[in-house]
Amino acid sequence: MPELRRNVFLIIGAVLVILFLVLTKKARKVMNKGIQVQGIVFDIASGSTDQAITQHPVIRFLTLNNVWITEPYYSSTFPVSLKKGQTIKVVYSPRDPKNFIIKPEGIALYLPLAILMLGSIFLITGVYKLLRP
């Protein structure tokens, strides 16, 4: 049991760092070559799994080629913070407009960094506990 206690910090830290990498990979890719347009939260869709009830925003925007895109957005960090009818900034891939992100603003801008910092703290603590006699 004491070994598990030491490793819990390492496990939590690793999960948080991996979460950071997953959250930022798509964003970096789209932000580097994407096109920014205005979008709207068209709807808030609800669903459920065996474990939880889920909500995700449905985003609608017009591409520069005048094509309407209306798609659910599953990558949202705080989907509940978005309200139906709210205007947002969307960055989409010119090759595949259905591959888009909501441009983070306010506190959402710093959330990935906070996840990385917290994960790093857990990892450092885990390594310290592992090496401590």
Each residue's pLDDT tens digit, 66-92: 999 999 987 654 556 788 999 999 999
DSSP 8-state secondary structure symbol assigned to residue 80: G
**What value, to the nearest 5°, has the Cα angle with vertex 125 and ends 122 and 131?**
140
Query: Taken in order 36, 39, 44, 47, is the CA torsion positive or negative?
Result: negative
> What's this model's pTM, rounded to 2 decimal places?
0.68
CA distances for 58 relative to 20, 41, 47, 79, angstroms = 23, 6, 12, 10
Tell me the average pLDDT of the chain.
84
Query: Average pLDDT, stretch 10-18?
Result: 91
Query: Average pLDDT, stretch 5-19?
Result: 86
Residue 65 CB neighbour total at 10 angstroms: 8
